[in-house]
Chains A and B, each alone.
Chain A
Amino acid sequence: MTRILLSIAVMALTTYFIRMIPLVFIRRKIENQFVKNLLYYIPYAVLSAMTIPSIFYATNDLPSSIAGTVVAVIMAFFGLPLIVVALSASAAAYLAMLLLPLI
């Protein structure tokens, strides 16, 4: 219990300070090009590493996870809104769970 609450505090404080420090303390632009590029690419790297391979375990069942992933990749590729992609992936996974056992 205490461990969990302390863990939540670590998460919250880390996240807050990351957001707060630049807004409060830095008033000039970063000049170092390598650092700028690194900061620019980090979100894409993080989200990709978080998604792959975890997305294939996301529904606790490989075939339906693959169905959801395929739908999400196609819809995301065409730039559909986040919420549409997210819910369509779930819908595809759900349909796969219902329909695949019948085949």
Chain B
Amino acid sequence: MHEFRKGFVQGVSIALGYLSVSFSFGILAVQSGLTVWQAVLISVTNLTSAGQVAGVGLIAEHAAFAELFLAELVINIRYALMTLALSQKTDRSFRLPQRLLTSYGVTDEIFAVASLQPEPLKPKYMYGLILISFLGWTCGTWLGAAAGTLLPVKLTNALGIALYGMFLAIILPPARKSRGILAVILIAAAISVFLKFAVTSLSGGFAMIIASVIAAVIGAAFFPADDAESKEADA
């Protein structure tokens, strides 16, 4: 119980952050033609920001399942790196059921908090951290999806930019310290803009996949090692 509470308390600030960001996701989902409960179902089953935003856009475009799968794979592959890192940090009580359960809730923010723990991770700590974050994410989605339509149009439109603001807040601070990251961000943005205006027949999902894979490959080829090595440890 002590471990569970510790995780729960440490997750409160994550949950508060999630509340407002998922509010903006809820609005976006309903504007894209989903029902309130479909929006909540997405948040309950996915628990991820970027993947859900892309997914809702693709669902609205009637994208093929293969495209949806590929988009989620590229967007969320970073989680594989995080759970890989966490697998080195788990204590002995992590057996198969605990691993299967914890896997559900590894987000960027939960990973960041958990990996900063000095001692090996216990399952109950992870459950507390994940549960409070899950509550913030799900309640925010429900509120945004349900009440978003009641708010003035200008306000809901303005809230639509919150998620993108959060994405910028994730990628820009590390870009100040790493030329590799800065290059990757600029290349991805440039290709994304090019595809949007020059190859209009290409769907948003594939444009995103192509832009990010090319940018990451260029980054890995031309800005190798030292950045990645040191950052990975505390990512």
Complexed CA–CA distance, A40 and B231 (Å): 9
Report if B120 contacts A (CB, 8 A). Answer: no
User: Are B69 and A10 touching (Cβ within 8 A)?
Assistant: yes
User: Are A42 and B161 touching (Cβ within 8 A)?
Assistant: no
Known: A40-B228, A52-B192, A86-B169. A46 touches B212 (CB 8 A): yes
Using C-beta atoms within 8 Å of the partner chain, give the interface range for chain B: 35 or more
Report if B12 contacts A (CB, 8 A). Answer: no
Q: Which residues of B contact A103 (CB under 8 A)?
A: none
Name the residue of chain B whose CB is nearest to the CB of A77.
B172
Q: Which residues of A contact B106 (CB under 8 A)?
A: 19, 23
Main secondary structure of the interface of B (DSSP, over half): helix
Complexed CA–CA distance, A55 and B45 (Å): 26
Known: A23-B99, A58-B160, A94-B154. A44 touches B165 (CB 8 A): no
B57 to chain A minimum Cβ distance, whole angstroms, is 8
Complexed CA–CA distance, A76 and B165 (Å): 8
Q: Which residues of A contact B50 (CB under 8 A)?
A: 46-47, 50
Known: A7-B68, A52-B193. A22 touches B83 (CB 8 A): yes
Report if B86 contacts A (CB, 8 A). Answer: yes
User: Are A59 and B167 touching (Cβ within 8 A)?
Assistant: no
Known: A50-B167, A87-B162. A38 touches B217 (CB 8 A): yes
Q: Which residues of B contact A8 (CB under 8 A)?
A: 38, 41-42, 45, 55, 59
Report if B77 contacts A (CB, 8 A). Answer: yes
Report if B131 contacts A (CB, 8 A). Answer: no
User: Are B173 and A76 touching (Cβ within 8 A)?
Assistant: yes
Name the residue of chain B whose CB is nearest to the CB of A43.
B78
- What is the interface size of chain A, counting residues whose CB is below 8 A from a CB of the partner? 77
Mark A41-76 against chain B: 1 for CB-CB distance below 8 A, else 0. Answer: 111111111111111001111001100110111011
Q: Which residues of A contact B99 (CB under 8 A)?
A: 20, 23-24
Report if B188 contacts A (CB, 8 A). Answer: yes
Which among A26, A33, A48, A59 has the greatest number of chain B C-beta atoms within 10 A? A48
Known: A37-B224, A79-B173. A10 touches B96 (CB 8 A): no
Q: A44-B188, A82-B166, A98-B154 are in contact. List 14 more A-B contacts (CB 8 A).
A: A16-B104, A18-B73, A23-B103, A33-B224, A39-B80, A40-B228, A41-B181, A43-B78, A44-B219, A50-B53, A50-B164, A51-B164, A68-B165, A89-B165
